[in-house]
C-alpha cells in the first residue's frame, strides 16, 4: 500500500523499504565520488541526467524542503542542501534532519532495532512518473480527504515545496507550492484534514502543503483525496506522530508492532481496526483441503483440484543400485557383505535394490526402508542387527571350538624370528578348522615333553610326547670307579662258573641313561696311593687343604673370576670356613674349591661342616645361588715336606669321600633341560 508523509512536510514523499545504499546515512540513491566523471556514457545514472553541480550525481532539482527561492542566485545557491533531487532517497534519520522535525534514533542495543526485525525505511520523492496522491489514493483503497485553499500561482524560480505567501486583507497568508492535477505549480495550504468518510478530524492553523494532484488552481477551497499519513502511532514513544494514520514501526524510537491486521476491505481477513498492514487473503480459487498434496492455504473457493495425499515410498527400486547418484559421493558403489570365514572377508556384490517398500501409488514420499544386505539370524555368528535383506545364505552358524592354529600353521612371527630359547611350546594341539567362535579355554597348547607318568622326567603339562627318561638309577659320582654305570658290577659266567665281578671302569654309553643317583651302586674302592716321588715316604706335613668339588649346570663361560669369588664368599659364610678359593673345570661344570686348614684333625672338622651345610642340592643352591646337579664331593689333600722343599710330593686321599644324598627330582629335571651338557 502507498503511504505518504504528514502534510506538514513541504514536499510529498512516499514511505518505502529502503533501496540498497552502500553508505549509511545517505541522502542520495547513487553514491557520489569526486573521481567519477558522470559526463561519460559508461557512468550514466538511472534517469540519464548528468551532473551539473559538484554536490550530486544528477543535479536535477525537483523540489524544495521549504525554502524561499525568490531572489536567490542559482549560480551561488547557499541553500543547495535544502533541494530535493530526482533520485534522492532519505533514511529516517537524514530525512528528519533535512526537514527539521523532531526525531530520536533507536538505541543500538535495542533488540527490535529496524535493521534486525524490520526493513529499513526510505523516503522517496513523489514526482515524475509517480502518480498524484489523489490518483494513488483513488486506486489503492487507502485514502482520506483534505481541503486545499488556493493562494496564488508559483513562479519559475520556485519548486514544489517552496515556501510561498500572499497578502490578503492586509494579512500575510503562507503556504507551499504544489503540483496541481494539471501539472501546474500552485501556491496553497491545507486548512483541514478529514478521514476516508470525509469527516473532518483536524482543523489546522499550522502551515501544511496541499496534496499533490489537488485540483485547486484558482481562488477558493477544494476537497481532494490524499494518501494516508505514516508515522509512529504509539502514544508514549519519543517519536509519536499525532497526525499519523498508518503505523510504521521503524519510525518509532523503540520500534514495535501496533494493531496489526489486513487493511484491505476486499480481503477475507479484513480488519477495519488495523493500522499496521499484514498479509491479506482474498477470494482465491484453489484446493482448500489441508491434507491434499496441492493445498493452498490462501484459497477460499475450492475448485475441485485437490489431489489426495497418498503416503508411501516413492523411490523406485531397481536391479542396479546407486541410480542417479553422483560418482564422487562418499561410499559410492561400496556394495559388500562381511563374511567372518577364513580367507573370505568381504564379499563384493554387483548390485542390489535401494529400497524394500516402493509404492507406485504413493505421491508423498514417506517411510522408505533402505535395503541393507546381511545376516538376519540373531543366532548366527555374523548377525547384523541393521540388515533387512538376505539375498544369499550370508549367515554363518555358531560352532564353538579352539581356533588357535597348530605350530606348523602359525605365522613366522610366532616363533620370534629365531629368538626363542627353545621350540618346546607350539600352537594348539586340538585346532578345530570348522569352529567359527573361538573359545580360548578349550585350546590345548602344544607343549613338548614326556607324557609317560612312570618316566623320571614326566611333565603333567605336556601335550606332545617328547624324550621320556625311564626312572633308572645309577652311579653319578665321578670319583667312583664305575661312574655313569647303572650297576656296581655284573655276573661273569665265561669260565663256566658264574661269579660277580665289580666294574673297574666308567660307563660311557649306558643304556638306558641314568636318571637319578644311587650311592649304593657306586664302586668307591680305589688302589693304594702311589709312593711319594723321589723316595720321600715320610716327613713333616707341609700343608693340608680341604678340596670341595661342586658339579653345576651351565658352562665354563658362566663362571668368571668375579662369579667364583662370590661363590667362595657364600661358601665360607655357610660353612664357617675361611680362605676358600674356587677354580672351574669343564665337565657339566665342576667348581673345585680349596680351603686351607691347620692339620688333619682340622680337615676332618672342615669336611664335617661342609657335609652338614650342604646335605642336599637345594641347600647348596640356596646358599651359593647356583644350579647344582649333585651334592659336593669333599676330600683332604695333604702335602708333605719342609716348607721350603719345592720337590715335596702331594698325596691326595679320598679321606672324606663323597658326602651323601640322593639327587632329587629337580636335579634330574635340570639335567634333562640341559640336554647333552649333562648326558655322558
Cell 554387483 found at: 350
Cβ proximity of 583 and 564 under 8 Å: yes
351 pLDDT above the threshold of 80: no
Strand order in the sheet with 464-465: 425-428, 445-449, 464-465
Taking residues 535-551, what's their average pLDDT?
69
Identify which has the larger pLDDT, 32 or 628.
Answer: 628
Identify the pLDDT of residue 560. 78
Q: Please name which of 626, 623, 613 lies closest in space to residue 559, comparing C-alpha atoms.
A: 626
Q: How many CB atoms lie within 10 A of CB 73?
A: 7
CA dihedral 294, 298, 302, 303 (to 10 degrees): -70
Taking residues 237-246, what's their average pLDDT?
92
Taking residues 294-315, what's their average pLDDT?
91
The x, y and z cell numbers of residue 290, run together, are 489441508
147 pLDDT above the threshold of 90: yes
Q: Please name which of 642, 672, 655 lies closest in space to residue 545, comparing C-alpha atoms.
A: 655
Cβ proximity of 222 and 148 under 8 Å: yes
Identify the pLDDT of residue 674. 31
Q: What percent of the chain has pLDDT over 90?
A: 25
649 pLDDT above the threshold of 80: no
Cβ proximity of 504 and 547 under 8 Å: no
Q: How far apart are CA 279 and CA 382, in angstroms?
A: 60
Size (the chain), residues: 680
CA 478 to chain centre: 73
pLDDT band of residue 77 (cuts 50, 70, 90) is: low
Cβ neighbors of 93 (< 8 A, separation 6 or more) are: 25, 103, 105
Identify the pLDDT of residue 202. 75
The enclosing H or E element of 665 equals helix 665-674
Cα–Cα separations (whole angstroms), residue 275 to 123, 262, 263: 20, 9, 7
Query: CA end-to-end span of the chain, whole Å?
Result: 121
pLDDT band of residue 184 (cuts 50, 70, 90) is: very high
616 pLDDT above the threshold of 60: yes
pLDDT, the chain, mean: 79
Pairs from 27-34 (Cβ < 8 Å, separation ≥ 24) = 27/88, 27/89, 27/90, 27/94, 27/98, 28/56, 28/57, 28/85, 28/87, 28/88, 28/89, 29/87, 29/88, 29/89, 30/57, 30/58, 30/87, 32/56, 32/57
pLDDT band of residue 660 (cuts 50, 70, 90) is: very low
pTM for the structure as a whole: 0.47
Q: How many CB atoms lie within 10 A of CB 246?
A: 21
Identify the pLDDT of residue 658. 35
Cβ proximity of 120 and 56 under 8 Å: no
Cβ proximity of 351 and 336 under 8 Å: no
Identify the pLDDT of residue 121. 84
Query: Which stretch of 104-118, 235-249, 618-632 has the lowest confidence by average pLDDT?
Result: 104-118
pLDDT band of residue 423 (cuts 50, 70, 90) is: low
pLDDT band of residue 218 (cuts 50, 70, 90) is: very high
Query: Which stretch of 120-129, 436-445, 668-677 has the lowest confidence by average pLDDT?
Result: 668-677
Amino acid at each position: 500500500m502507498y503511504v505518504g508523509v504528514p502534510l506538514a512536510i513541504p514536499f510529498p514523499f512516499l514511505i518505502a523499504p529502503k533501496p540498497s545504499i552502500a553508505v549509511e546515512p545517505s541522502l542520495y540513491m547513487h553514491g557520489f565520488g569526486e573521481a567519477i566523471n558522470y559526463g561519460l556514457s559508461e557512468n550514466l545514472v538511472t534517469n540519464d541526467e548528468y551532473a551539473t553541480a559538484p554536490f550530486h550525481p544528477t543535479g536535477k532539482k525537483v523540489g524544495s524542503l521549504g525554502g524561499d527561492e525568490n531572489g536567490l542566485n542559482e549560480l551561488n545557491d547557499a541553500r543547495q542542501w535544502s533541494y530535493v533531487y530526482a533520485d534522492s532517497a532519505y533514511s529516517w534519520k537524514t530525512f528528519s534532519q533535512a526537514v527539521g522535525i523532531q526525531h530520536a534514533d533507536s538505541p543500538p542495543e535495542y533488540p527490535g532495532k529496524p535493521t534486525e526485525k524490520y526493513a529499513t525505511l526510505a523516503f522517496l520523492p513523489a514526482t515524475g512518473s509517480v502518480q498524484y496522491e489523489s490518483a494513488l489514493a483513488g486506486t489503492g483503497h487507502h485514502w482520506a480527504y483534505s481541503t486545499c485553499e488556493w493562494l496564488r500561482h508559483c513562479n519559475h524560480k520556485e519548486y514544489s515545496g517552496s515556501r510561498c505567501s500572499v497578502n490578503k486583507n492586509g494579512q500575510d497568508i503562507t503556504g507551499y507550492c504544489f503540483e496541481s492535477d494539471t501539472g501546474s505549480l500552485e501556491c496553497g495550504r491545507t486548512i483541514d484534514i478529514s478521514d476516508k468518510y470525509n469527516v473532518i478530524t483536524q482543523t489546522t492553523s499550522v502551515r501544511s502543503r496541499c496534496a499533490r494532484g489537488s485540483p485547486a488552481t484558482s481562488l477558493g477551497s477544494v476537497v481532494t483525496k490524499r494518501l494516508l499519513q505514516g508515522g509512529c502511532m504509539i502514544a508514549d514513544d519519543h517519536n509519536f506522530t499525532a497526525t499519523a494514520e498508518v503505523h510504521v514501526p521503524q519510525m518509532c524510537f523503540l520500534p514495535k508492532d501496533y494493531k496489526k491486521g489486513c487493511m484491505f476491505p476486499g480481503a477475507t481477513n479484513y480488519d477495519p481496526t488495523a493500522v499496521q498492514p499484514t498479509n491479506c487473503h482474498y477470494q482465491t480459487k484453489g484446493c482448500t483441503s489441508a491434507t491434499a498434496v496441492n493445498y493452498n492455504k490462501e484459497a477460499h473457493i475450492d475448485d475441485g483440484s485437490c489431489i489426495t495425499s497418498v503416503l508411501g515410498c516413492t523411490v523406485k527400486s531397481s536391479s542396479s543400485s546407486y541410480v542417479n547418484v553422483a560418482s564422487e559421493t562418499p561410499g559410492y558403489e561400496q556394495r559388500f557383505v562381511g563374511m567372518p570365514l577364513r580367507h573370505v572377508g568381504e564379499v563384493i556384490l554387483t548390485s542390489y535394490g535401494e529400497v524394500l517398500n516402493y509404492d507406485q501409488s504413493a505421491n508423498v514420499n514417506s517411510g522408505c526402508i533402505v535395503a541393507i544386505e546381511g545376516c538376519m539370524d540373531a543366532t548366527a555368528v555374523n548377525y547384523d542387527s541393521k540388515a533387512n535383506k538376505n539375498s544369499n545364505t550370508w549367515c554363518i552358524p555358531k560352532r564353538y571350538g579352539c581356533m588357535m592354529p597348530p605350530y606348523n600353521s602359525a605365522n613366522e612371527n610366532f616363533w620370534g624370528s629365531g629368538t626363542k630359547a627353545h621350540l618346546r611350546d607350539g600352537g594348539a594341539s586340538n585346532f578345530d578348522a570348522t569352529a567359527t567362535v573361538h573359545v580360548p579355554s578349550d585350546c590345548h597348547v602344544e607343549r613338548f615333553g614326556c607324557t609317560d607318568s612312570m618316566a623320571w622326567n614326566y611333565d603333567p603339562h605336556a601335550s606332545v610326547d617328547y624324550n621320556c627318561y625311564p626312572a633308572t638309577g645309577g652311579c653319578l659320582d665321578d670319583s667312583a670307579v664305575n661312574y655313569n654305570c647303572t650297576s656296581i658290577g655284573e655276573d661273569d659266567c665265561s669260565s663256566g662258573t658264574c661269579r660277580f665281578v665289580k666294574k673297574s671302569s666308567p660307563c660311557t654309553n649306558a643304556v638306558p641313561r641314568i636318571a637319578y643317583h644311587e650311592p649304593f651302586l657306586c664302586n668307591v674302592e680305589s688302589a693304594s696311593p702311589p709312593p711319594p716321588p723321589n723316595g720321600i715316604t715320610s716327613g713333616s706335613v707341609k700343608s693340608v687343604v680341604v678340596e670341595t668339588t661342586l658339579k653345576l649346570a651351565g658352562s665354563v663361560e658362566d663362571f668368571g673370576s668375579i662369579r667364583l669369588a662370590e661363590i667362595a664368599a657364600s661358601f665360607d659364610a655357610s660353612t664357617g670356613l675361611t680362605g676358600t678359593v674356587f677354580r672351574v673345570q669343564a665337565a657339566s661344570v665342576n667348581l673345585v674349591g680349596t680351603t686351607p686348614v691347620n692339620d688333619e684333625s682340622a680337615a676332618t672338622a672342615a669336611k664335617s661342616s661342609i657335609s652338614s651345610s650342604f646335605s642336599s642340592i637345594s641347600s647348596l643352591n640356596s646358599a651359593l645361588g647356583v644350579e647344582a646337579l649333585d651334592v659336593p664331593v669333599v676330600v683332604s689333600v695333604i702335602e708333605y715336606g719342609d716348607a721350603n722343599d719345592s720337590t715335596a710330593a702331594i698325596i691326595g686321599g679320598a679321606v672324606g669321600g663323597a658326602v651323601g644324598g640322593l639327587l632329587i627330582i629337580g636335579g634330574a629335571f635340570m639335567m634333562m633341560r640341559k640336554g647333552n651338557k649333562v648326558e655322558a
